[in-house]
Every structure is written in C-alpha cells, then in structure tokens.
Homo-oligomer: A and B are copies of this chain.
Amino acid sequence: MNRIISRWRGALLPLAVVAYGVGLWFVPVPDGLTRESWHLFTIFSATIFAVILSVLPLLTAALLAGALAVLTDTVDPAKAFSGFANQSVLLVVSAFLVAQAVVKCGLGRRIALGVVAIFGKSTLGLAYSIFLTDALIAPGFPSNTARGGVLFPVILSLAQGANSHPGDEVGRRLGGFLMFCGMASLSVSSALWLTATSANPIGVSLVAEQGLQVTFGSWLLVASVPALCAIGLLPLFLYRLFPPGTTDTPDAPRIARAALHEMGSLSRDERITALVFGVMICAWIFAGSFNFSLAGIAFAGLGLLLAFNVLTLEDIYLQGSTLATFLWLAVLFAMSGQLNEMGFMGYVGERLAMALEGLPWLAAYVVLLLLYVAMHYLFVSQSAQVLALLGVFLDVGVKAGVPVGLMGFALLFASSYFSTLTPQGGSQNVIFVTSGYLTQGELYRLGLLTVIFCTALFLVIGTPWVLWMT
C-alpha cells in the first residue's frame, strides 16, 4: 500500500504539477492582466504546489522557477535576481552566520542555562520563557528577522542542552517544539508593538490614508488584550499540538546551575561575542533614527567576529545550507515582489471585493480577514502582502460598512500573526526552519493550525476590544 502511494506520488504528482503549470500557462489571459503577470503567477503557483506536494525541494523548485521566469522573458533578469541584493534577504543570511558565534563560543549555552535555571522545571516553562523574552525585547527590534537572529541561537542551545538533535526521530521533538515556539512567538510579539517588525510602520502609513491614525501608544493599547492573550495561550496550544516528548525536567534547573558553575567566568570569545552582539542590537534599535542599514550592521558584526577569530573561515565553509537558503529565498522574494509590481495582487483584491457586495458588515469583516490571512499562502514576505493587499482590503471593508478602526487594526495584526502559515511566510521563519528539527509537512500543519488559532483568538477576543478602544 505504502509502495503504491509512494509510486503514485513519484510519478503522478510531478506530472500533475507540470500539467497544472502548462495548462495555466496557455489558458487565455484574464481581462485586466498582462500576459507576463499571468505567466509569472503560473510559475509561482506551480512552484508553491511542487513544494507543498513534496515533488521538489524548495531550493530545486526555486532555481527552476527563477530560470523559467528569466528564460521565458516573463521577468526581466535584473528584477528576477534583485532578491539577492535585498536587504531583508541579506539580513537573514548574515544573521544566520552571525548566530553561529553565539552557539560556538558558548554564550548561547550560558544564556540558555540561565533561562533554564529560572524557568526550566518543565518544557512548558522553557516555551513561556521564549515568548516572554521575545515580547520584552520586541519594541527595540524593528526587524523580526533580527530578533529571530537573537532568539535562534538561544533556542538551539536549549534544544542541544536537552540532548535534542534533528537526526533523532524521537529526541528531535523537543527541539522542534521550541523552534516552532520561536516562530510563533515572533508572529505575535510583532503584533504587540508598532516597532516590532518592518511591516508595521508600512501598514500604519497605509491605514492613515483611509483616515485611521495609529501611534506607538494607541497601537500598544489596542493590541494589548488580544496579543497578550495569544502570548499566554500559544505555548499551551502548541504543547498539545506537538507534544515535545519530554515534559517534566525537575532536575534541569539544578543541573543548569551546576553546568553554569562549571563554565566559570566568561571566556575571551564569549566576551567579544557579547560585546559585538550588544553593539549590533543597539545599532539595530537606533537604526531608524541614524538611518543605519540593518544588513550593514549585520555585515559589520560578522566581519568583526571573523577578524577576532571568534568565527573562522572554516565555520563559514560549513554553512552551505545557508547558501541554499540564500538562493531560494532570494528567488522567491523577487518573484513575489514582481507579482505585486505587475499588478496581479491588486487585480485579485479587486475581484474579491466585488464578490463581497451586499453582505452585512460583520460578515464582510470576517470574510475579508479570513481571505487576507489565507492569501498569505502566496506571499514570501509579510511586507510584500501588506504593500499589495492591506490598502485594497481596508478600502473594501470600509465600503462594506466595517468601522475603519476595526478593519484597520484587524488587518494590521493579521499581517503579523499570519507569518507562520508557511515556512517561507516570513523571512524570520527561515532561520528556524533550516535548523532541521521539523519536517516540511509538520511546518505546514503546525503553521496552518497556529494561524487558525490566532485568527480565531483575534476575532473573538480582539473584535470587541478593538471596537471598544477605537
């Protein structure tokens, strides 16, 4: 039976994807779309299907998609390859390399042991400590990718400290649970503060065009109840959804304290790493005021860590998987941006809006929110979807009678919490995804259920609160 299924997958699924792609390619182009934008949508959606159906690995699919887009003249090469120079993409790549230093020098282990010494009596305690740390540092990190770069090495050290490794079928579950907690935490901490992710200020300026003024304080006030509920409930929810195997670790705090004692005082490399990271984080926090490039800061940090031999060239030579990430992320990022630039996203938004005419405002509100969230399957970047759809969806909602404050904030918050929907749904995910603790199937399943949970929570608890506050 398994063999039949596997043969079926092996032969029929690739054929189905190819048939889908070829079929869609030659379908008459819908009115209002250019031939190029239709062909790009064909390539992009076939790529996503090929990956979702495990016909091709992400890297292979992305390379072929990029090559197809360029060689069929669908996208100009300069634009198709522009993702490689995108600063968010470069920030992901350099953050990944920089994070190795925290692991290598032992600083990550030390911080993790410190967290375990306080919260480590249970796996759930560890999960809460991740969510709490993230929520507290979030307002100072205008990039959730950068925040992921800080959290990831700590989580990796926590997992390795609990003897959880990607290769081990049972043991990996604890690491997988904590990795997904990191992704989920970033998706809700970003909804709590206006300055917690780069997509938020973009969204704020878009809703301002519809007359909704949002400040740092008003955002925090309106977000507080639903976002804090999510932070309080998500660890429990994920704990049930993906039981980490190990639940109680009563000895962990004592062992952690003993291990900390054994580590002694900070080593040279730890001190340098702490200093470099301290300066990097300060620079990231004040990047907006001083007009610093986030990726430039990461490059400086990486260069310094290499110059002081905390990281060596050999450490970089082991990072071939980062190269693979760089390749697929850059290709898909550029493609998604092009879909938007070519007007495809706006076109879809307009059609959907027309279909909603005549619905009561509450129903229109729910439908629009669900659609907005579901459409994140198509986007590799949160900012790209905010730019492409938030304005259209808010406009449609207001025209359907939804209060502008409710529709606006609901869409703004959704733009944060929908990021876990796919492994590539937010660039910060990638850091956790490539750790190898979770399979693609698990990532898609956990992502979908987490987003459904958050959407329900923000609808049920968030809606009355937002209506009361605005």
Q: Which residues of B contact A322 (CB under 8 A)?
A: 320, 323
Surface stretch bound by B, among A55-63, A169-177, A180-188 = A55-63
CA distance A303 to B295 in the complex (A): 28
Q: Judge if A70 is at the interface, Cβ distance under 8 Å.
A: yes
Among B63, B86, B296, B330, which residue has its beta carbon within 8 angstroms of that of A67?
B296
Interface size class of A (residues with CB under 8 A): 35 or more
Q: Judge if A318 is at the interface, Cβ distance under 8 Å.
A: yes
Residue of B nearest to A56 (CB): B307
Q: Which residues of B contact A86 (CB under 8 A)?
A: 81
Given A90-B81, A295-B81, A317 and B306 contact (CB-CB distance below 8 Å): no
Q: Judge if A242 is at the interface, Cβ distance under 8 Å.
A: no
Q: Which residues of B contact A71 (CB under 8 A)?
A: 292-293, 296-297, 300
Q: Are A299 and B66 in contact (CB under 8 A)?
A: yes
Q: A50-84 CB contact bits vs B (8 Å, 1 = yes)?
A: 00000011011101101110110100011011111
Given A67-B303, A323-B323, A59 and B296 contact (CB-CB distance below 8 Å): no
| Chain B nearest Cβ from A79, distance in angstroms | 9
Residue of B nearest to A315 (CB): B320
Among B60, B291, B307, B320, which residue has its beta carbon within 8 angstroms of that of A307?
B60
Q: Judge if A85 is at the interface, Cβ distance under 8 Å.
A: yes
Among B59, B82, B330, which residue has its beta carbon within 8 angstroms of that of A313?
B59
Q: Are B306 and A316 in contact (CB under 8 A)?
A: no
CA distance A111 to B44 in the complex (A): 38
Residue of B nearest to A58 (CB): B313
Q: Judge if A374 is at the interface, Cβ distance under 8 Å.
A: no
| Chain B nearest Cβ from A251, distance in angstroms | 36
Among B68, B302, B306, which residue has its beta carbon within 8 angstroms of that of A57?
B306
Q: Which residues of B contact A68 (CB under 8 A)?
A: 300
Among B93, B292, B320, which residue has its beta carbon within 8 angstroms of that of A317?
B320
CA distance A297 to B81 in the complex (A): 13
| Chain B nearest Cβ from A14, distance in angstroms | 9
Q: Which residues of B contact A330 (CB under 8 A)?
A: 84-85
Q: Are B90 and A85 in contact (CB under 8 A)?
A: no
Among B80, B297, B313, which residue has its beta carbon within 8 angstroms of that of A324?
B313
Q: Are A66 and B320 in contact (CB under 8 A)?
A: no
Q: Judge if A470 is at the interface, Cβ distance under 8 Å.
A: no
Q: Which residues of B contact A295 (CB under 8 A)?
A: 70, 77, 81
| Chain B nearest Cβ from A7, distance in angstroms | 17
Residue of B nearest to A79 (CB): B85
Q: Are B319 and A323 in contact (CB under 8 A)?
A: yes
Interface residues of A in 227-284 (CB under 8 A from B): none
| Chain B nearest Cβ from A375, distance in angstroms | 25
Q: Are A60 and B303 in contact (CB under 8 A)?
A: yes
Q: Which residues of B contact A318 (CB under 8 A)?
A: 320
CA distance A320 to B96 in the complex (A): 12
CA distance A419 to B469 in the complex (A): 57
Residue of B nearest to A287 (CB): B71
| Chain B nearest Cβ from A356, distance in angstroms | 36
Q: Judge if A87 is at the interface, Cβ distance under 8 Å.
A: yes
Q: Are B316 and A59 in contact (CB under 8 A)?
A: yes
Q: Which residues of B contact A90 (CB under 8 A)?
A: 81, 84
Interface residues of A in 187-221 (CB under 8 A from B): none
Q: Judge if A304 is at the interface, Cβ distance under 8 Å.
A: yes
A sample of 22 cross-chain residue pairs with beta-carbon separation below 8 angstroms, ordered by A number, consists of A57-B313, A59-B306, A63-B299, A63-B306, A64-B303, A66-B296, A67-B296, A77-B293, A77-B296, A78-B85, A78-B87, A80-B296, A83-B85, A84-B84, A84-B330, A93-B323, A317-B324, A319-B323, A320-B320, A320-B322, A320-B323, A323-B323
Of all A-B residue pairs in the complex, the 6 with the closest CB atoms, nearest first, are A67-B300, A70-B296, A63-B303, A64-B303, A85-B85, A323-B323
